[in-house]
Chain A
Amino acid sequence: MKFGTGCILLILLAGCEIQPVKSWERAYLALPEMAATPDATAEAYRNHAYFSKEAASGGATAGGGGCGCN
C-alpha cells in the first residue's frame, strides 16, 4: 500500500507547477505520442492479455467485454 501511494504521489508531483498554456502552444500536447493511449487497438489487445493472465484488471475505462479467459 505504501509502495502504491508513493508511486501515485511521485507521478502526480512529477510536474507539479501548473503553467498556463495558450492555444498556440498546444502543438506538443496534440502529438499522438502524448495521448493517454497512443494506439487504442494495441492497448485493447495488451489489456486483454494482461487481464486474462493476471488477477488485476481495470483502469480508466468503462465498457469492454468480459471473456472466459483461461
Chain B
Amino acid sequence: MPLHRRALKAMGCPCELRIYAEDGPQAEAVLRAGEAEVRRLEAKYSRYRDDSLTARIARSAGDARGIEVDAETAGLLDYAAIAWEQSDGLFDITSGVLRRAWDFKSGCLPSQSAIDAVLPLIGWHKLIWRRPRLVLPTAGMELDFGGYVKEYTADAVTRVLRDNGVQRGLVDLGGDLHVVGPHPDGSAWQVGIPHPRQPGVLARIELSSGAIATSGDYERYMIMEGQRYCHILNPKTGWPMRGAQSVSVVADQCLVAGTASTIAMLKGGEGPAWLEALGLPYFCIDAAGGLCGTLAAMDAGI
C-alpha cells in the first residue's frame, strides 16, 4: 500500500499528514479533508485573526453578559478547567496576556511593573464558566488556546482520517503527533525527540498507536547573562519555570499527552515526580541534560 503525504505550515510550525491508502485520488481527498480540519481549528482559535473565536472572546471581556460558545469550545473550556485543577493552577489558559510583557524576540527582559500590570488579568478562577456561557469579568482578559489546541487538532485530524477509512498513518503537527495506525507491515513509527540544545534528534521512540507531545524550553526563549528564560511561564508569578529542558509524554490522546508535558514543565523541579504519579509513559531531559523517564529505557538510540 503506498504512502501518501501532505506537508503544510499551520499553527506556526511545519506539519505533515501521512496516510497509507490504495486509491490515489481518494487519498488526496482524504488528505485535503485532514488539512481542512487543521485550517478550521487554526482559524477558529487563532490569536492573530480578528475574526477568530479567540478574538471574539477577547472582545467580550468586561461585558457582564459574556459570550455563548459552541459545543467544541465548551468541551475545550471544560478540559482547561480540569487541567487547571489537576495542575494546582499552573495550567491556566488566561495566562496568554503575559505575552504583552514578554517579547522573546526582543532580547529584553520585561520590567516587574510590566508583569505586575497583567497579573490581575490572569486567573482561571476569576472567569465565570457556566456552559454554554463564558464571562471574562475584566476588560483586557483573554483566553489563549495556544497551549493545547495544537494537540487537540492532532486528535481531531486523526478522527477525520479514521472517519474516512484510513487505518494506517501519522499526523504530525510540529512535533505533536498522533498515530493513526502502524505501517502496513505492522511496524511502529519512529518518532524523533528533538535535542533541546542542538539541531537534530536526541532520541527515537517507537510508537505503533497513541500519541506523543513534547514541551521544551527551547521553543521560544532568550538567554540573558547566561540564564535561559523560556516561554513556559508560571501564571502566578509571570516568570518562567526552570526545571527540565524537555518533557515528552505518550498518551491515548495527543491532547492529554500535551497537557501532561506542559504541566510537567510548569512544575519545574517537581515535574518528573508528578509524571511518575500520573502513570503515563514519558521521556524527560533534565536541566543537566540527563535522560530520565519510563521511555528512556525504551530509547532506540540514535
Q: Point out residues on A near B: beta carbons under 8 Å.
A: 22, 24-25, 27
Contact = CB atoms under 8 A, between A and B. Distances in A.
A25 B37 CA distance: 8
A27 B160 CA distance: 15
Given A24-B40, A24-B160, 9 more contacts: A22-B33, A22-B160, A22-B163, A22-B164, A24-B36, A24-B37, A25-B33, A25-B36, A27-B40
Interface string B33-68: 100110010000000000000000000000000000
A42 B37 CA distance: 35
Interface of B: 33, 36-37, 40, 160, 163-164
Interface of B is mostly: helix
Contacts of B40: 24, 27
- Nearest 4 CB-CB pairs, A to B? A24-B37, A22-B33, A24-B160, A24-B40
B210 to A, nearest CB: 23
Contacts of B33: 22, 25
11 contacts: A22-B33, A22-B160, A22-B163, A22-B164, A24-B36, A24-B37, A24-B40, A24-B160, A25-B33, A25-B36, A27-B40
A23 to B, nearest CB: 9
A24 B38 CA distance: 11
A27 B41 CA distance: 12
A25 B33 CA distance: 9
A4 to B, nearest CB: 37
Contacts of A24: 36-37, 40, 160
B49 to A, nearest CB: 15
A24 B162 CA distance: 14
- Of the candidates A22, A24, A25, the one having the most CB atoms from chain B within 10 angstroms of its own CB is A24
A24 B70 CA distance: 13
Nearest to A24: B37
A27 B36 CA distance: 11
Contacts of B37: 24
A69 to B, nearest CB: 41
A25 B164 CA distance: 13
A22 B160 CA distance: 9
A57 B40 CA distance: 42
A22 B29 CA distance: 12
B26 to A, nearest CB: 11
Contacts of A25: 33, 36
Nearest to B163: A22
Contacts of B36: 24-25
Contacts of A27: 40
Nearest to B43: A27
A48 to B, nearest CB: 33
Nearest to A19: B29
A58 B164 CA distance: 42
B132 to A, nearest CB: 17
Contacts of A22: 33, 160, 163-164
